[in-house]
Structure 1
Amino acid sequence: MAHTPRSKGRTGRPYRRAVERVKRRSQVCWLCNEAIDMSLKWPDPMSFSADHVESVKSLPPNDPKLTDPKNLMPAHLSCNSRRGDGSREAPRQLRWSRQWLV
């Protein structure tokens, strides 16, 4: 499948697999620290989306980071959209559910 300029590596099996790994890793938005309702589907603003930590805009086409699960974090669609192209600052500290128990 040819990638369109808009998709920039965000299609195909490697990307889908990376997104599935992110879904299994956490269901808490890394931008607002609120739970993501996995039953909601796109385009619901509170549905799951995978946010690139390192901006897609800053990466060249076919860069491995585009499909690297380490470069993807769970986010609400609205939080991800509000962050935009990654030029806005990401959270200073990532909070996982294990940290909440402390």
Structure 2
Amino acid sequence: MAGNPRNGRPYRRLVDWLRSQRLPCWLCGHNIGYDLDARHPLSFTLDHEVPLSRGGDLLDRSNARPAHRRCNSARGNRTSPQRPQQASRRW
């Protein structure tokens, strides 16, 4: 296969399918700014539940999840989402 598979039509169709559902971020649960510039930290990215570096399938719909760019980057290639820390009560 020549080139980057993320530039291919099947991957773009998967991204468009997931974007059309307008789901919240699967990592933090907050709404995603689907109309924001792609470089914005709260914009939509396609995240893979099982990271590609750990054997996840690039084009499998059951492996695709919507995420904020910031949440996706913070998760890295870990297999489970990092749970938000509960702030302690300050006195």
TM-score interval w.r.t. the shorter chain? Answer: 0.7 to 0.9
Pairing 1:1-102 to 2, within 5 Å after superposition = 2-3=2-3, 7=4, 9-59=5-55, 65-85=57-77, 87=78, 89-90=80-81
User: Which 4+ stretches in 1 moved above 6 angstroms?
Assistant: none
Q: Kindly provide the amino acid, as one letter, of the partner of residue 80 in structure 2.
A: E
Task: Tell me how many residue pairs correspond in the alignment.
Answer: 83
Match of 1:46, as an amino acid? L
- Note the C-alpha offset of 1:10: 2.3
- What residue ranges of structure 2 are gaps of 5+ in the alignment? 84-91
Identical pairs, percent: 40
For residue 67 of structure 1, give the secondary structure of its aligned residue in structure 2.
coil
CA distance in 2, matches of 1:78, 1:91: 13
TM-superposition CA deviations, 1:24-65 (whole Å, max 9, x none)? 233300000000011101111000000001111012xxx7x2
Distance 1:88 1:72 in 2: 13
For 1:18, give the aligned amino acid: L
Aligned CA RMSD, in angstroms, stands at 2.1
CA 1:34–1:50: 2 relative to 1, 3 Å: same
8 Å Cα contact 2:23/2:31 also seen in 1:
yes
Whole-angstrom distance in 1 between the partners of 2:49 and 2:72 = 10
